[in-house]
Amino acid sequence: MRLSVIGCGYVGLVTGACLAEAGHEVMCTDVDAGRIAKLKAGEVPIYEHHLDKILASAGKNGKISYTADGGEAIRFGEAIFICVGTPPRNDGSADLSAIDYVAQQIAAEARSPKLVVEKSTVPARTGIELQRALTAYSRGGNAFRVASNPEFLREGTAVEDFFHPDRIVVGVEDPAAGEQLREIYRPILERKFSCPVHNGKCPDTHKAEFLVTTISSAELIKHASNSFLALKISYANVLADLCEQIGANVEEVTHAIGLDPRIGTQFLKAGLGFGGFCFPKDIQAFISLAATVGVDFEILKAAERVNKQRIERFLGKINKALWVVKGKRVAVLGLAFKANTDDIRFAPALEVIRRLAEEGAEIHATDPEALEKAKKQFPQVHFHEDPYKALESAHAALVCTEWDVYKKLDWDRAAKVMARKLVIDGRNLYSPEKMKQLGFEYVSFGRE
Ligand code: UGA
């Protein structure tokens, strides 16, 4: 099928590339002409595992193309995936102006009936407004059907998540739209694609469920899903605080409770809390949506509050350990909001750096992928590609991201170059016993 993708950010590029790899013909567009020029030249503007590979193969097979002309892209596809940004406004609600702009463009440029699919994360009822806007702007000329098809892709494993989803949710108002989306996802549902992640040896996981719901339910499912995961993390973080006071070990507690399948072991990792461009903004947008219809989502407000306090707790641990922060040299290990991405949006590490810089610390930071992005924001920070260089003469090492390279760091080697053998671990990466054996003062979350 011929498909259009509007917006070439994380969601748009992964969606476009994977649907092209699954056999469809895809045309992508973006208001950022520079980004389109890069894509045409074979450059991949974001770091996402396997994405370069599938963009290259889809390009070679003529399955994916790019245009800076939004009209051309809109006319190309039978279905149009809207993948534009919905950033938070000051009050926490989602800014839907990009969606509105695209609706006007689709209405003006389409020359045939279109299935318009919201893929961007949007608050419930956006689909209804989108349908209204398309009808109003098109002046009755063209038939548009609207659907919601939320994505559940994690940054870093987005390509794998796309090809091996737990569920594909489509919110529609008429069965034909549901059938068209089922056709689009048929290669994924029937596993008829050559998997770029597992090279033909995909694990025998259960097949994805194709769920057809109303548009409002589909929109709600996305926010409800992310908010629940955020809630789980905050719960684990409060448990960690409690464990510290009581003298228990949060890893033992969360592991044991997680073995109950009703709870599950994932997303119970205590530490610096959640960041990124999804959880913090989605939880706010969900609270804000609930408030507009008179529902007080108190439980999510608490989860958000707990998450903000994580930075204070981390800084408290740093202050307690260092006594005086001013003039101390600190090594920050990890800038990205989580491992396997170069994304630093709402990354806890950035707030930690900002606060320590205010207190007069000398900051040496390192990250396997996010250095370039962070450099632009912090001219006063010293950046190093080599973690051992960042650790040189440091009075403390602060672990902010759960990268594998830090899990495997040679602390014996680090000890030789550090000014003081102190590690303050915001991601609970190491065993307190082992760090003690290595002669380190070691501070983490919920395991004191
Ligand atoms: C999240 C969801 O997991 C995806 O399903 C969803 O599609 C995506 O948002 C989205 O809305 O686009 P992502 O933001 O890529 O994906 O990151 P996660 O892997 O969910 O991690 C979020 C944050 O929580 C990270 O800062 C991570 O370090 C933190 N985290 C995660 C914890 O602090 N503890 C945990 O146990 C797990």
Q: Where are the beta strands (DSSP E) in 338-414?
A: 362-366, 382-384, 396-399
In this prediction, residues 335-350 reach a mean pLDDT of 95
Task: List the residue whose alpha carbon is closest to atom 25 of ligand 1.
Answer: 274
Q: What does the DSSP 8-state code read for residue 94? A: B
Tokens of 418: 């550090």
Q: Which strand (E) or helix (H) includes residue 66? A: strand 64-67
Q: Tell me, what's the pLDDT at 191? A: 87
Contact residues for 138 (Cβ-Cβ < 8 A; gap 6+): 107, 108, 110, 144
Q: Tell me, what's the pLDDT at 207? A: 82
Task: Give 112's pLDDT tier (boundaries 50, 70, 90).
Answer: very high
- Residue 233 CA to ligand 1 centre (angstroms): 10
Task: Give 20's pLDDT tier (boundaries 50, 70, 90).
Answer: very high
% pLDDT > 70, the chain: 99
What's the mean per-residue pLDDT of the chain? Answer: 95
Amino acid at 303: A
Q: Tell me, what's the pLDDT at 419? A: 98
CB 142 within 8 A of CB 173: no
Contact residues for 181 (Cβ-Cβ < 8 A; gap 6+): 79, 115, 117, 147, 149, 168, 170, 172
Task: List the residue whose alpha carbon is closest to atom 24 of ligand 1.
Answer: 274
**Is the distance from the beta carbon of residue 12 to the nearest atom of ligand 1 less than 6 Å?**
no
276 CA closest ligand 1 atom index: 14
Q: Label residue 394 exposed, middle or buried (CB < 10 Å: 0-12, 13-18, 19+).
A: buried
In this prediction, residues 259-267 reach a mean pLDDT of 97
**Is the distance from the beta carbon of residue 155 to the nearest atom of ligand 1 less than 6 Å?**
yes
In this prediction, residues 89-103 reach a mean pLDDT of 91
Give, rounded to a whole angstrom, the gap between the first and last alpha carbons of the chain.
57
In this prediction, residues 284-299 reach a mean pLDDT of 95
Calculate the alpha carbon distances from 134 to 45, 84, 148, 197 in Å: 31, 16, 15, 38
Which contacts qualify for 369-374: CB closer than 8 Å, 24 or more apart?
369/47, 369/336, 369/340, 369/341, 369/342, 370/335, 370/336, 370/341, 370/342, 370/343, 370/344, 371/335, 372/342, 373/335, 373/342, 373/343, 373/344, 374/335, 374/344, 374/350
In this prediction, residues 409-419 reach a mean pLDDT of 97
The answer to whether residue 92 scores a pLDDT higher than 90 is: no
Contact residues for 321 (Cβ-Cβ < 8 A; gap 6+): 396, 422, 424, 441, 443
Answering whether pTM is above 0.85, one says: yes
Backbone angles phi, psi at 243, to 5 degrees: -60, -40
Task: Give 141's pLDDT tier (boundaries 50, 70, 90).
Answer: low
Q: Is 202 a catalytic residue?
A: no
From 120, 149, 155, mutation site for ligand 1 pocket: most ligand atoms within 8 A of C-beta = 155
Instruction: Write the pLDDT tens digit of every residue in 359-406.
Output: 999 999 999 999 999 999 999 999 999 999 999 999 999 999 999 999
Q: Tell me, what's the pLDDT at 56? A: 95
In this prediction, residues 96-113 reach a mean pLDDT of 94
Instruction: Write the pLDDT tens digit of every residue in 203-239.
Output: 877 788 999 999 999 999 999 999 999 999 999 999 9
From 279, 335, 445, mutation site for ligand 1 pocket: most ligand atoms within 8 A of C-beta = 279
Integer Cα distance of 168 and 185 in angstroms: 8
Tokens of 62: 């003529």
